[in-house]
Copies of this chain bind each other. A is one copy, B any other.
Amino acid sequence: MKDTVVVERKKIKLKKAILITGLPGIGLIGRVVGKYLIDELKGVRIANLYSPHFPHQVFMTKKGGMKLIRNKFYLVKTKKYDLVLLIGDVQAITSYGQYEVADVILDYAKKVGIEKVLTIGGYSTGKINENRRIFGVATDKDLLKELKKYGVVFGVARGSIVGAAGLLPALSKLKGIRGACLMGETHGGYVDVTAAKNIVVMLSKLLEFKIDTTKLENKAKEGEKVLKKIEEELQKNAITPYEGATKDVSYIR
């Protein structure tokens, strides 16, 4: 294992397949979306990705087991599309590692028949807006137009996307796969379940699958209450949230 590898648990060959990635990043939006889709749509693990570009750490489990750091691929077969969901606890720790891991992910995606890559991230505004939009960027115009129909806002988010949420669709273009990055509008300093919920709802429309969003909505409501309180406190005391933390989460989308 001198390089990043995908270890397959099941050999699969897909049709009309879409890769959706939910890796940790701003507001943990990608992570929350990915986990929720897998749980609710009963995703089946099809592969693990291991990399020497992940931290040299191993997690201990409640039961006394141990887990290598990895990213995990799940398969969900919906009415219209085969969805491959990628989630994980970390992203590669160096710039070079980010490129290598993205490359290995896309080689695997290509091999199993992925035609489109949608990455889920967050777009940090430093504010808590009631109506949080979904910002998008895409590698081709048709995909952009399609996403626009479902409310994704293009041309507003500016600057750069750091990490896998940007690299995966941008690199996918070089491999003949279409791609887009969907970013939930978010404060940036807090886990944002509402932004995640918005993306889940949008995806269910776009990809025509049914999903029970009750649990996510409940969590989102709780989250909103907490955020409101935080906001009030901040306004009262004119305290800025701990800067280091904010920077950390905004670093990778």
Contact = CB atoms under 8 A, between A and B. Distances in A.
Contact of A60 (B1, B68, B94, B157): B157
Given A138-B65, A162-B56, A171 B1 contact: yes
Given A63-B154, A64-B137, A154-B63, A58 B170 contact: yes
Contacts of A169: 58, 66
Interface stretch (A79-87, A98-106, A214-222, A227-235): A98-106
Q: How many copies does the complex hold?
A: 4
Chain A interface secondary structure, helix, strand, loop or mixed?
mixed
Interface residues of A, number: 54
A139 interface: yes
Contacts of A162: 55-57
A134 interface: no
Interface stretch (A22-30, A46-54, A189-197, A241-249): A46-54
Contacts of A95: 52-56, 93
Given A1-B174, A7-B174, A93-B95, 7 more contacts: A52-B99, A57-B166, A58-B167, A60-B161, A65-B138, A66-B138, A66-B161
Interface of A: 1-3, 7, 50-68, 93-100, 103, 136-139, 144, 154-155, 157-163, 166-167, 169-171, 173-174, 181
